[in-house]
Structure 1
């Protein structure tokens, strides 16, 4: 085991390793190619989310609650991608699997913060659709920019506090047997399970976060859509129903690609313990794919987004044509 450092509290001595060793795949051939594949996902995600930032920031017609929520989702996607994938590349492609104790906790904090913000932002967007369809006459009274800013600040504050508590709970663990983390990043579960002192607080925090950031948001979203579907029954024509439902398609797709893989992983683990390699592939893809797919979903399924992008492209094309004419003269 690596050299150990001791940090003393008032009542107890905690043994902290100087480094953790991120094991990654076990005896899986060509595993580096998988992380190179994730790198291409990273490049695509960064580009797409940067386009979302640019479009929303530059077009004042999109400075409304719905698109402020989408901007926040893109920000969380961008943050999680940058907190996760470059570190994976450094760790596994360049054989740098040792990570210092402090850097490991920092990585854990930021990955979980951005992931948690994604989850709660999807709830905020579901509430936006619920108000828009169920209470259309009161939408602009309830869902205004001030309200959405307050809600999103609360989301970031709650998640930051919760993940801060997760990290603090790790500092109260001693690692006197091994420093090998059987995961692809500094994951909370694989770290607290290798501690040699009482980890019941960490177990409780892990279950609490699972409930607050996966099950509770999913239940809230399902209840929102139950209300939406009940409200759609009061609309007399199918055309109006489909028009209202179409505004929810992009959000439903985003919810599906975020929550369904996570639920599949948890349910599969309950039925039969996952092989470490299967867990790494499934959890890393469930973290990497939503940030790449969300911008595509919103661009393809949102009329306002497509309109703004086409307007920008048309303006750019006109400018290039004018420049070419000037050069010819």
Structure 2
């Protein structure tokens, strides 16, 4: 069959996790609960930080942006998935699919950059405490967030434009719960080598780059903490970055788990199930990680509530 040009009206089918009817109510209420917890938890973090003047410092400024990114990330994929489960209609239009894919790449990349920026903030706070207020001035903080946002937008636009050049045939079933970039590219009838080349290049540049910055920052942090003589000083210094380290570990370990799972099992369904960890579970757990281990956040939440 001749491939149809992507400028024509196309529809994809999001197969989701299971086609068994008896599992659909369970999946609906499970993901609805996780989505509400994610939105409410991250929204409380943002409101607590903005309402408490004591938290108007770089670390919490970055945290509020990360919470906003998590809300947007889950909102990009979960409501559509819930609607598909409730209506038993797995169809998603071509335009909606490309839009969903674009915003997912944008907010996932933005969160990735923010984790690297937060690692740099902890590096300056622990390794250069006397110059912290000078280095991490408001202008630099806003600039780092703005650059992270711009890079994420450019990356998402690049990937979306690369997909728009593809042609698709009649087999348009996506064995996933949202329009994931790799799954959409695999459905194309035309040559996907340029898309795969761009995906691998950007994954190395925008994925390994921030991770390398995070690892370098924490190597310096660990060496500075080891140089502290008192045990109480070591504990106090480590506690300032424990929450961020937990979020970084959860984020990157789940992403690596997704790719290793896809590489070993070659199953799109198992890859989709693993993707839930970094796209839904991680944004849901972030507010708990930061609030349970942070006295300032807990105090601000009590004041706000």
Q: TM over 0.5, yes or no? A: yes
Q: Is the 8 A contact 2:261 2:274 kept in 1?
A: no
Corresponding residue for residue 10 of structure 2: 18
Tell me, what secondary structure is at the counterpart of 1:68? helix
Range moving further from structure 2, 279-288 or 150-159:
279-288
Does 2:228 correspond to 1:245?
no
Corresponding residue for residue 34 of structure 1: 27
Q: TM-score normalized by structure 2?
A: 0.93
Q: Which one of the candidate residues 256, 260, 269 is aligned to 1:277?
A: 269
Corresponding residue for residue 319 of structure 1: none
Corresponding residue for residue 192 of structure 1: 185
CA distances 1:88-134 after superposition (whole Å, capped 9, x unpaired): 11123322211111111111111111111111101111000000000
Does 2:57 correspond to 1:64?
yes
Corresponding residue for residue 257 of structure 1: 250
Matches within 5 A, 1:127-146: 127-146=120-139
Corresponding residue for residue 143 of structure 2: 150
Q: Is the 8 A contact 1:16 1:174 kept in 2?
A: no
CA distance in 1, matches of 2:17, 2:9: 22
CA distance in 1, matches of 2:282, 2:18: 26
**Which has the greater radius of gyration?**
1
CA distances 1:258-317 after superposition (whole Å, capped 9, x unpaired): 1111112212333x224332222111232101111111111111121122223345xxxx
Q: Which one of the candidate residues 260, 266, 270 is aligned to 2:259?
A: 266
Q: Is the 8 A contact 2:4 2:169 kept in 1?
A: no
Q: Is the 8 A contact 2:15 2:90 kept in 1?
A: yes
Range moving further from structure 2, 122-131 or 173-182:
173-182
CA distances 1:68-95 after superposition (whole Å, capped 9, x unpaired): 1001100100101111110111123322
Does 2:58 correspond to 1:73?
no
Tell me by how many angstroms 1:31 deviates. Answer: 4.1
CA distance in 1, matches of 2:96, 2:168: 16
How many residue pairs get aligned? The number is: 304
Does 2:83 correspond to 1:90?
yes
CA distance in 1, matches of 2:85, 2:227: 55
CA distance in 2, matches of 1:57, 1:204: 42
Tell me by how many angstroms 1:233 deviates. Answer: 2.1
Corresponding residue for residue 180 of structure 1: 173
